[in-house]
Chains A and B, each alone.
Chain A
Amino acid sequence: GAVVSQHPSWVICKSGTSVKIECRSLDFQATTMFWYRQFPKQSLMLMATSNEGSKATYEQGVEKDKFLINHASLTLSTLTVTSAHPEDSSFYICSATPRQGGTDTQYFGPGTRLTVL
């Protein structure tokens, strides 16, 4: 149980295009989903926290107009990287906190590797 999926697992796009990444909790309802970014040899950096039906809360330094997050249901959150540039190339990981259970529980998705040419 407690499986989180991400799609796509990797994507290559041209500079200036937009890329959408989906994060789904497959066997549980998630009250909160988190989006992280990880550059090579670095730790996870929290980008934003999203709760179903409400606007995402972005961390300082993360452009909300560039990284659009939609948490439309209790099992799906999407991250759209708009007008992607090479510096946006990174490993994007989502995690989800189950509706049942403690708020300090999170299950990670497998990640999406974005390469912007």
Chain B
Amino acid sequence: QKEVEQNSGPLSVPEGAIASLNCTYSDRGSQSFFWYRQYSGKSPELIMSIYSNGDKEDGRFTAQLNKASQYVSLLIRDSQPSDSATYLCAVYRSQFYFGTGTSLTVIP
């Protein structure tokens, strides 16, 4: 079983819609959770970190964490074409574990 699992997509949403990205993790001992955005040919950039159950909002982005169900999600409101990228979910438990990423395309 993989440490972190994501639907690889691709996920396509129209401009202005809400994009929903999901991630599950296998180890309940995982402490910290992150969403990274990676454009093609570039290194990942941190979008959100979340540590406690519930929602955390930052601008158009909302991260949701449910430790009981072992999932983390990322909502992107008012999606823009510039949001088109691969989104990596990562969890930290002594080291970082990354999912394979979900490719998002926002269609103008």
Residues of A within 8 A of B (CB): 34, 42-44, 46, 49, 91, 93, 102-104, 106, 108-111, 113
Report whether over half of chain B's contact residues are helix, strand or loop; otherwise say mixed. Answer: loop
A110 neighbours in B (Cβ, 8 Å)? 42-43
B31 neighbours in A (Cβ, 8 Å)? 104
Contact present for A42 and B100 (CB under 8 Å): yes
Query: For residues 27 through 78 of chain B, which have their beta carbon under 8 Å from a beta carbon of chain A?
Result: 31-32, 41-45, 49
A44 neighbours in B (Cβ, 8 Å)? 44, 88, 98
Interface residues on B, range: 10 to 19
Given contacts A43-B88, A104-B32, A104-B92, contact A93 B100 (CB under 8 A): no
Beyond known contacts A34-B95, A44-B44: 13 more, CB 8 A cutoff: A34-B96, A42-B100, A43-B98, A43-B99, A44-B88, A44-B98, A49-B95, A93-B44, A102-B32, A104-B31, A104-B92, A111-B42, A113-B41
Contact present for B95 and A93 (CB under 8 Å): no
Report whether over half of chain A's contact residues are helix, strand or loop; otherwise say mixed. Answer: loop
- Minimum CB–CB distance from A7 to chain B (whole Å) comes to 14
CA distance A93 to B98 in the complex (A): 13
Contact present for A43 and B101 (CB under 8 Å): yes
A103 neighbours in B (Cβ, 8 Å)? 92
B88 neighbours in A (Cβ, 8 Å)? 43-44
CA distance A106 to B96 in the complex (A): 9
The 10 lowest CB-CB distance pairs between A and B, nearest first, are A104-B92, A104-B32, A43-B100, A111-B43, A108-B43, A44-B98, A43-B98, A93-B43, A110-B43, A43-B101
- Minimum CB–CB distance from B15 to chain A (whole Å) comes to 25
